[in-house]
Structure 1
Amino acid sequence: MKLSRNILVIDDETRWLRTIDMLLNRHIPEARTYTCENSRQALQLINDLDIALVLLDLNMPALDGRQLLRDIREHAPYVRVIVLTGLNETEIAVECMKQGAYDFITKTSSTDQLLIGVRRAMEMIGLERRYHQIKEGFFNRMNLSAFDRILTTDIKMHDCFTFAAALHDSREPILIEGEIGTGKHMFAEALQQQVCPEFPLLTLSVADISPQMLEQKLFGVTNQAGLLDMAGSGFLLLAHLSLASEETQRVLTQLCQRKRYFPQGSLRETALKCRLLFSATGTT
């Protein structure tokens, strides 16, 4: 199962679709948003576009939203549905949740409430799909030749290899923890070779680095790309996390949570494309 981030907004109001499309593209750039005015085409689009989340209007002329919800739950059970309602449809929306909708949001809600609901749904989808990825990885034979340089007879380490390889589609940060000399950097190199060998593994030590210098190196400065851009769609290893200051860890935490950043001197946010690896000694 792929870790899809595609969103489909289904509504027969063209202006509303255009507004939601612009809103999601601006504030959730890591997801790709599609729109649909004809509800009869929705199921086909969900299948063709590998949709993970549907924002569904209840009142549509071609196919009623409640019937479409039932069809989605039957034919695409892994797709989450957020019902979009009018002011007088709350009872209907609650009934839709009993039928399998993930949440409902009124069209008069603030944009912040809408974005919070969408992000919460996408986080849940990510957790569910990663669970199935890991489950499939453990029960299916996987090619783990990238880890051949790490010599071990510990069955727990072999489980770690399988677990890491099963997360090949995940964009979530990964923490590699162990004592000095246990091969954390070698594990990171193997993971990079397993998942995206076409990209280099870039490394930055975050020990004793000021937050200002960290932001310059990660986000870049005028006419000079930062490490987040240089890593492309590959991995960036941020080493010695346990030795980083609290302020530096705060900057990194915000980056992991938002998955967006402002290059210095820019007024527009940039979506995080690379994958973040962290290494630490002991408990951070």
Structure 2
Amino acid sequence: MNINRYPSFGILLVDDEPSFLRSLSIALERGAGFNHIYRCEDSREAMSIIEKEPIGLVLLDLTMPHLSGENLLQQIVQEYPEVGVIIVSGLNQLETAVQCIRLGAYDYFVKTTEEDRLIKGIRRAVHMQEMRQENQEMRKRFLSDTLERPEVFANIITQNKGMRSVFQYLESVSNSSQPVLISGESGVGKEQITQAIHTLSNRSGELVSVNVAGLDDNVFADTLFGHHKGAFTGADRARSGMIEQAINGTLFLDEIGDLSLTSQVKLLRLLQEGEYYPLGSDRPKRMRSRVIVATHQNLEEKLKKGEFRKDLYYRLRIHQIEIPALRQRKDDIPLLLEYFLAEAAAEMGKNKPTIPKELITLLANYTFPGNVRELKALAYDAMSQHQSKVLSMEIFRRVIDPNKQTIIGDTDNATLFKSDQPLPTLQEVGDLLIEEAMNRAKGNQSLASRLLGISQPALSKRLKKKLIEPL
């Protein structure tokens, strides 16, 4: 069975006591799920292990024969500055601890330290190393403007630069174990982004999806954690939860903005501790899956209203992705329309029609409140009624009524005119509207007149009048 190694980099334990190496290895796997571990009993071999293996963190004893931990620390800092070092020593001396920190150690713990405190300290170091590696990956990808695995995004139809930046970010954080928060309006493709993250992570387990909207607290806990037989009335047999089904894989929680405050506490505890209790059990299980959450809601607004916990929000947004709405990536509209029409034609056994140029201009001036999902529905509807070689625009015109569209954006605090400036005349405003409509319609008077809500002859008359007016 293929088991994912966590973290993505190795943790090297260096100590001359085999029994301590064994006990620390067990504690790391049991307490934090760390299973990417290397052991070294001879400090003289540590540097060769770092050279050959993908070591990102070293847990180092100080008092060892042959090569002391302090000397080894200096070598690691000098030759491998990107590798973090934590001192785990039997020496409980403040002066020694301060000296090690000055030499470049990330932290210092005494072997008699409580196990929970030691594990939390190592978790912090692992997280810092993950963030450092992700920053390096992001810098490399954005500077070179490249994708290492473009095939992963083949099913996401786009040529938009904003979406390409999203893909580069996803590649940068793919090896992280931290949660990912995907936000964006309904219909932008959050499920496809989730699938891409799961594929990029190379996890051996499955992608398990749960829509948490409408789940009450008990159902939420049972869905995620599962239960033992007899845990509650009707529990006549044990059932594994979604977390267990997603072992070594990815757990996707959709519509996280609808989660109740009580369930938010349970999710926060799961993310912080990495452990959960199936209903009716007093023995914890360790979560071995990555968590991805998605929402179409504005979580910051829900924070202000007290409907979403701050601690959970900041825990989830360690990696955050905002998927742009379709109206923000209008250059994708022709590609998507071609794709959906071809897909619909194949399903219906029809020939794909020619797309009128005017249709692309019409769609570019539509706000698409339903985003990509709405465009797909329009394309399928048009294809189902299509009969000639050229695609009819009537289906689209019936839905896309420029006079009924709402302005998207924050208009509460916005104003069209500055209070300290004189108002333009009606003639000036009318001329500006006509000019903008003609620009959006790319010179098509028929479409421009529809955008303005006037007849084409009326628009033509205004344009002619503007041309003959004296300067």
TM over 0.5: yes
1:242 shift after superposition: 0.8
State the partner residue of 1:58: 62
Q: How do 1:170-249 residues align onto structure 2 when only pairs under 5 Å count?
A: 170-196=176-202, 200-222=206-228, 223-249=238-264
- State the alpha-carbon separation in 2 of the partners of residues 69 and 194 from structure 1: 34
**Counterpart selection for 2:273 from 245, 250, 258:** 258
TM-score by length of 1: 0.87
Cα deviation per residue 1:150-175 (whole Å; 9 max; x = unaligned)? 33443212201221133221221111
State the partner residue of 2:353: none
Mapped pair 1:157 → 2:163: yes
State the partner residue of 2:398: none
Mapped pair 1:104 → 2:89: no
Aligned residues: 283
* Counterparts in 2 of 1:197 and 1:7: CA distance versus 1, 3 Å: closer
Mapped pair 1:132 → 2:136: yes
Bigger helix share: 2
* Counterparts in 2 of 1:91 and 1:262: CA distance versus 1, 3 Å: same
- State the alpha-carbon separation in 1 of the partners of residues 198 and 85 from structure 2: 34
* Counterparts in 2 of 1:63 and 1:126: CA distance versus 1, 3 Å: same
**Counterpart selection for 1:114 from 118, 124, 129:** 118
- State the alpha-carbon separation in 2 of the partners of residues 29 and 190 from structure 1: 24
**Counterpart selection for 2:153 from 144, 147, 156:** 147
1:63 shift after superposition: 0.5
Which is worse superposed, 133-142 or 156-165?
133-142
- State the alpha-carbon separation in 1 of the partners of residues 73 and 227 from structure 2: 47
CA-based RMSD of the aligned residues comes to 2.6
* Counterparts in 2 of 1:237 and 1:4: CA distance versus 1, 3 Å: closer
Residues 47 and 76, structure 2, Cα contact 8 Å, conserved in 1? yes
- State the alpha-carbon separation in 1 of the partners of residues 195 and 19 from structure 2: 48
* Counterparts in 2 of 1:42 and 1:194: CA distance versus 1, 3 Å: closer
**Counterpart selection for 1:274 from 286, 289, 293:** 289
SS in 2 for 1:208: coil
Which is worse superposed, 267-276 or 116-125?
267-276
State the partner residue of 2:73: 69
In structure 2, what residue type is equivalent to 1:173? P
- State the alpha-carbon separation in 1 of the partners of residues 30 and 245 from structure 2: 23
- State the alpha-carbon separation in 1 of the partners of residues 216 and 60 from structure 2: 46
Percent same amino acid at aligned positions?
Answer: 33
Give structure 2 stretches of 5+ with no counterpart.
Answer: 1-5, 229-237, 300-471
In structure 1, what residue type is equivalent to 2:59? L
1:258 shift after superposition: 2.4
Which is worse superposed, 219-228 or 115-124?
219-228
Residues 7 and 36, structure 2, Cα contact 8 Å, conserved in 1? no
SS in 2 for 1:181: coil
Mapped pair 1:83 → 2:115: no
Give structure 1 stretches of 5+ with no counterpart.
Answer: none
Residues 206 and 248, structure 2, Cα contact 8 Å, conserved in 1? no
In structure 2, what residue type is equivalent to 1:274? S
SS in 2 for 1:104: strand
* Counterparts in 2 of 1:192 and 1:12: CA distance versus 1, 3 Å: closer
Residues 9 and 34, structure 1, Cα contact 8 Å, conserved in 2? yes
SS in 2 for 1:176: strand
* Counterparts in 2 of 1:121 and 1:190: CA distance versus 1, 3 Å: closer
Residues 208 and 243, structure 1, Cα contact 8 Å, conserved in 2? yes
SS in 1 for 2:251: strand
For the pair shown, which has the larger CA radius of gyration, 1 or 2? Answer: 2
- State the alpha-carbon separation in 2 of the partners of residues 70 and 217 from structure 1: 50
1:15 shift after superposition: 3.6
Cα deviation per residue 1:121-155 (whole Å; 9 max; x = unaligned)? 11211211221222233334423233344334432
Q: How do 1:30-41 residues align onto structure 2 when only pairs under 5 Å count?
A: 30-41=34-45
* Counterparts in 2 of 1:54 and 1:199: CA distance versus 1, 3 Å: closer
TM-score by length of 2: 0.55
* Counterparts in 2 of 1:11 and 1:189: CA distance versus 1, 3 Å: closer
- Structure number with greater CO (CA < 8 Å, separation at least 6) is 1
- State the alpha-carbon separation in 2 of the partners of residues 16 and 153 from structure 1: 55
Mapped pair 1:14 → 2:29: no
Residues 275 and 286, structure 2, Cα contact 8 Å, conserved in 1? yes
1:260 shift after superposition: 2.7
Mapped pair 1:44 → 2:48: yes
Residues 209 and 248, structure 1, Cα contact 8 Å, conserved in 2? no
- State the alpha-carbon separation in 1 of the partners of residues 88 and 262 from structure 2: 40
SS in 1 for 2:215: coil
1:119 shift after superposition: 1.6
* Counterparts in 2 of 1:199 and 1:105: CA distance versus 1, 3 Å: closer
SS in 1 for 2:138: helix
Bigger strand share: 1
